[in-house]
Amino acid sequence: MPDNVTWLGTPAFPEAARTALGNNQLRTNLRKATGTIRDKRLAVTGELADWEQLRDAGAALKLRTLRHLDSHLVRLEEAVTKAGGTVHWAADAAEANRIVTELVRATGQTEVVKVKSMATAEIGLNEALAESGISAYETDLAELIVQLGDDRPSHILVPAIHRNRAEIREIFRGAMGEWGRAAPDDLTDEPRDLAEAARLHLREKFLRAKVAVSGANFAAADTGTVGVVESEGNGRMCLTLPETLITVMGIEKVLPSFADLEVFLQLLPRSSTGERMNPYTSMWTGTTEGDGPSDFHLVLLDNGRTATLGDEVGRQALGCIRCSACLNVCPVYERTGGHAYGSVYPGPIGAVLTPQLVGVADKQAASLPFASTLCGACYDACPVKINIPEVLVHLRARAVDEKRGPVPSPETLVMKAAAMTLSSPRRLGWAQRFGAIGGRLVSRGGRIGRLPGPLKRWSDTRDTPVPARESFRAWWQRTRGEGRS
Amino acid sequence: MTEHANDKAGTSAPVTAGGAPAARATILGRIRTALADVPASEQPDDVEVPRDYARSHAGSDHVALFAERVADYRATVTRARAREARKVIAGSLSARGVKSLVVPDGFPADLLPDENGLAVLTDEPPLSVRTLDAAGGVLTTCAVGIAVTGTIVLDAGPGQGRRALTLLPDYHLCIVRSSQIAEDVPEALERLEPTRPLTFISGPSATSDIELDRVEGVHGPRTLDVVIIEEP
């Protein structure tokens, strides 16, 4: 399966994380940003006394959707078609890219404006369009920073979270001129000035755009209503001004009914940007005469989602509403940043989604379920109660099973030996006695440091205290024991 | 395995004539295989959804709450009685220095200021994007307000116009009648017609993209004024 979810050539998580941890600027930027958003989220979720009931309802609605996904999609297709839209189905990234490219070609245009969309990032749409000579302009501020900086996104909601204001100013000054209107010479690093520079840079593009490409936060199966939740107004520009609108949506984003939005419009803004409501939400149903695009296409994307759905434990990851609260509370994400995950979906949700979308046979993706301390902060923060630790452990087992070949790995042998030792009190007693002697031989100052040979990889990253001269069991037997127990 | 739903696509967009019906059958087939554990007798509504969350988080005075919550987004809110509304609107426009004002079809004539020096632009025939971009502001009514979240919802009805009118001018003055204000999100959605083009507006355009801190003013109107007309 062509894999666009992960970035080719990214090393497995442990190696990528090691590099990221050496970057002090990155860690400072992340600490500041995630700290800010954590406080805001807690303040606005704390305002609602029934927050837990809302989470329960959100989780149940997602379960209801997923257990009958086929019927909801067919209903959605019917409603969108009836309202004047055209529905397309794409089994994988290549097919989705082909559909979008040909739809753009049919308009005769060579440029499109884009609303930030995880689905189009996942399928590598911009690159596919570029190959056909079509320029795709990202219009979300953070996506613009990433695009101008020839960078990769590192966060679901704020793809440029790894950049601070001074770095953003340098990117704008260096690259805006190549893409269109240049940044003013006296651009400061005040967020207000940076936002103004983006406004001026993109204005021309919005006013002449004939084709827009968007994602979707949801689509209601009963009415065919599609929605985009945003802040800046770039979404409204793209959804309103062009003649043709192409929306790429993961199949799991469908909701049974428009009324279900009463739950998600409360959960999503408070969990993502920590606001009671995000500045702008646009909803449209097919096309409307004289208002907005006259041609609307909805591309329903599978690309690994049905494979995820087939895993009874893992399927809950498809309930994700892309709020990114789990990233902001994750101690691992806060230290390594998003790039280390090597995927458009970083952080805890990425660690459960990416390996399922691309399969655990992919070595890099298979390393992601291990990128967690299993502390559970993500589960507590998730507005739709995805039990991320449960799925992580489940995927760890799948990753280990996948690796199981005819020749057992050293890890397997060690685990087998441990199981044998721990299952017999006599063997455990022997192991403890030898461990105490052996440990003292290789220790320094009460700690066992780096060891040679097969133990090197384990001992390189952690010190182990020297085992006590006498184990608890041996002490008990010596002082209180009455013969063999 | 039906290709029925793509008949339309086949005629209007040549791209889907070949691959799409196959993809549709493939995806629906994969979903059914993936959901083999779901009993065939189970209907979508059989999956229980607990609905014990509150229908409203507003207190006793939801109009006051609406005013407070809209102002939290750094929008300016004025409450006015019906007979003084026109004067308040004129005052806001002159305070903002608006010289050319877009007024959508169906805006109540009795609220429209007749100040000298204010050029009123109507959308009939439709204004070009350049004209809208250059306009000093836009004056509209709304469909629904949401008190708890401080949100205004436009549905392109009378006095609101098509969506571009409230997007391109840098200043938006929105008139909300107190009876239009719903207490919370669930009530607001019940009041709306889903199939109309809907725009939920909570304060002026803003971004959290730089260091996750909120800054007002990106692509949408950078200034939002709201006048609440108190109805008995």
Q: What distance in Å separates residue A168's CA from the closest CA in chain B?
A: 8
Which one, of A262, A359, A341, lies nearest residue A303 by Cα?
A: A359
- B31, B74: one domain: no
Task: State which residues form the domain around B23.
Answer: 4-38+42-46
Q: Using the beta-carbon criterion (under 8 Å), do A236 and B14 form an inter-chain contact? A: no
Q: Is a pLDDT exceeding 50 seen at residue B202? A: yes
- B34, B66: one domain: no
Q: Using the beta-carbon criterion (under 8 Å), do B215 and A160 form an inter-chain contact? A: no
Domains of chain A listed by start with CATH number: 51-56+69-305 (3.40.50.10420), 410-479 (no CATH)
The predicted pLDDT at position B11 comes to 38
Q: Using the beta-carbon criterion (under 8 Å), do A240 and B44 form an inter-chain contact? A: no
Minimal Cβ distance to A57: which of B50, B146, B208: B50
Q: Is a pLDDT exceeding 50 seen at residue B176? A: yes
Q: Using the beta-carbon criterion (under 8 Å), do B206 and A223 form an inter-chain contact? A: no
The predicted pLDDT at position A184 comes to 94
Neighbours of B87 (CB within 10 A): 11
Helix or strand or coil: residue A77? Answer: helix
Residues 206-225 (A) with a CB less than 8 A from some CB of B: 206-207, 220, 223-225
Per DSSP, helices labelled H in A283-424 are: 305-309, 325-329, 331-336, 347-358, 363-367, 377-381, 388-403, 410-422
Q: Is B59 on the interface with A (CB under 8 A)?
A: no
Examine residue B192 and state whether it is found in any structural domain, yes or no. Answer: yes
Per DSSP, helices labelled H in B35-56 are: none
Q: Is a pLDDT exceeding 70 seen at residue B9? A: no
- B105, B172: one domain: yes
Q: Is a pLDDT exceeding 80 seen at residue B116? A: no
- How many Å apart are CA A420 and CA A428, to the nearest integer? 9
**Number of separate domains in chain B:** 2
- How many Å apart are CA A117 and CA A253, to the nearest integer? 13
What is the count of residue pairs from A and B with beta carbons less than 8 Å apart?
A: 298
Examine residue B103 and state whether it is found in any structural domain, yes or no. Answer: yes
Burial A134-157 (b: 16+ CB within 10 A, else e): bebbbbbbbbbbbbbbebbbbbbb
| CB B165 within 8 Å of CB B199 | no
- B171, B204: one domain: yes
- How many Å apart are CA A112 and CA A209, to the nearest integer? 7
- B31, B66: one domain: no
Examine residue B55 and state whether it is found in any structural domain, yes or no. Answer: no
Examine residue B174 and state whether it is found in any structural domain, yes or no. Answer: yes
- How many Å apart are CA A407 and CA A138, to the nearest integer? 49
Tell me which H or E stretch contains A55. Answer: helix A51-67
Q: What distance in Å separates residue A142's CA from the closest CA in chain B?
A: 5
- B190, B97: one domain: yes
Q: Using the beta-carbon criterion (under 8 Å), do A276 and B218 form an inter-chain contact? A: no
Secondary structure letter of residue A253 according to DSSP: G
- B16, B100: one domain: no
- B76, B26: one domain: no
- B144, B34: one domain: no
Q: What distance in Å separates residue B94's CA from the closest CA in chain A?
A: 24
Q: Using the beta-carbon criterion (under 8 Å), do A280 and B204 form an inter-chain contact? A: no
For the residues of A195-210, what is the DSSP string, one character each?
HHHHHHHHHHHHHH--
Chain centroid to CA A101: how far?
Answer: 25
Q: Is a pLDDT exceeding 70 seen at residue B6? A: no
Q: What CATH code is carried by the domain that includes residue B129?
A: 3.40.50.10420
- B8, B91: one domain: no
Q: What are the strands of the beta sheet with A86-90, ordered from one edge?
A: A86-90, A295-301, A244-250, A211-214, A111-114, A135-138
Examine residue B120 and state whether it is found in any structural domain, yes or no. Answer: yes
Examine residue B51 and state whether it is found in any structural domain, yes or no. Answer: no
Neighbours of B67 (CB within 10 A): 23
Q: What distance in Å separates residue A165's CA from the closest CA in chain B?
A: 6
The predicted pLDDT at position A92 comes to 96
Q: Chain A: residue nearest B211 by CA? A: A33
Record the pTM: 0.90
Residues 142-201 (B) with a CB less than 8 A from some CB of A: 146, 148-151, 156, 162-164, 167, 185-186, 189-190, 194-201
Neighbours of A392 (CB within 10 A): 23
**Facing residues of B199 across strands?**
A282, B154
Beta strands in A218-301 (DSSP E): 218-220, 225-230, 244-250, 254-255, 280-285, 295-301
- Among A167, A207, A283, A334, most B C-beta atoms within 10 A, so best to mutate, is A283
Q: Using the beta-carbon criterion (under 8 Å), do A53 and B52 form an inter-chain contact? A: yes
- Among A31, A44, A68, A301, most B C-beta atoms within 10 A, so best to mutate, is A68
Q: Is A309 on the interface with B (CB under 8 A)?
A: yes
Handedness of CA A333, A337, A338, A340 (dihedral sign): negative
- How many Å apart are CA A378 and CA A331, to the nearest integer? 10
- B70, B31: one domain: no
Q: Chain B: residue nearest A203 by CA? A: B219
Minimal Cβ distance to A261: which of B189, B208, B209: B189
Q: Is a pLDDT exceeding 90 seen at residue B41? A: yes
Tell me which H or E stretch contains A104. Answer: helix A93-107
- B71, B33: one domain: no
Q: Using the beta-carbon criterion (under 8 Å), do A99 and B151 form an inter-chain contact? A: no
| CB A266 within 8 Å of CB A323 | no
Angle at B97 between CA B92 and CA B103, to 5 degrees: 65
Which residues, in sequence order, are CB contacts of A176 under 8 Å at separation 6+? A148, A182, A183, A197, A201
- How many Å apart are CA A184 and CA A261, to the nearest integer? 42
* Residues in chain A with pLDDT values less than 70: 1-3, 482-485
Tell me which H or E stretch contains B187. Answer: helix B185-191
The predicted pLDDT at position B3 comes to 40
Q: Using the beta-carbon criterion (under 8 Å), do A292 and B197 form an inter-chain contact? A: yes
Q: What percent of chain A has pLDDT over 90?
A: 80
Examine residue B56 and state whether it is found in any structural domain, yes or no. Answer: no
- How many Å apart are CA B69 and CA B182, to the nearest integer? 13
Examine residue B53 and state whether it is found in any structural domain, yes or no. Answer: no
Q: What is the mean pLDDT of chain B?
A: 91
Angle at A444 between CA A439 and CA A450, to 5 degrees: 75
Helix or strand or coil: residue A248? Answer: strand
**Facing residues of A247 across strands?**
A214, A298
Tell me which H or E stretch contains A212. Answer: strand A211-214
